[in-house]
Amino acid sequence: MNWLPDYNYILASKSPRRQELLRELGINFSVEISDVDESYPESLYREEIPVFLAELKAKPFSGKLTENDLLITADTIVWLKGEVFGKPTDKREAIEILQKLSDNEHQVISGVCLTSAKKQKSFFSVSNVRFKILSESEINFYIDEYKPYDKAGAYGIQEWIGYIGITHIEGSFYNVMGLPIQQLYTEILQF
């Protein structure tokens, strides 16, 4: 028995991790991608950024959703001392990001937007993550082997670097993977 309402669920995300988490929740969904320019106003602060981007990703579907559709869009950033880290563009940037996260606590913030034909609801989740001191060889090995160019903050908590490097996490583990699944479940029930 599925506890969730009987929507036609649509996930607008290429992320294999978000798709895996939704499947594990027991949701039957389709994946529909619409490319959007993911730039945001510089005036936005912390959680405002991923919420803005999640809402932006829902815009191309405006007017296209049917009565029973429920669109799920999401975005995740890494926030360290006022600096935003999205997905690294190359190895040099991935190294720089991981060097900054090394021996520091950062926040992983996901914004999620639920959109139907009639309404929209957005929310966010914040998890605090602390890395040990990462050596140059550990950083290089991880980037070479796992190529984390599709991950905010240049790492996946569920990968090797998470196993050897994360000493503390406060908040949702799944949020750090890119989708605060428990909170999403609750929000769908209340939608």
Task: Please give the positions annotated as active site.
Answer: 75
Distance CA 162, CA 179 (A): 17
Mention every residue, 6+ apart, whose C-beta is less than 8 A from residue 155: 98, 101, 142, 148, 161, 162, 165
* Ramachandran area for residue 46 (φ above 0: left; ψ -120 to 50: alpha; else beta): left
Task: Specify which residues 69 forms β-bridges with.
Answer: 8
CB 55 within 8 A of CB 31: no
Determine the longest span between alpha carbons in the chain, in angstroms: 53
* Strand 29-31 with 83-85, pairing: unpaired
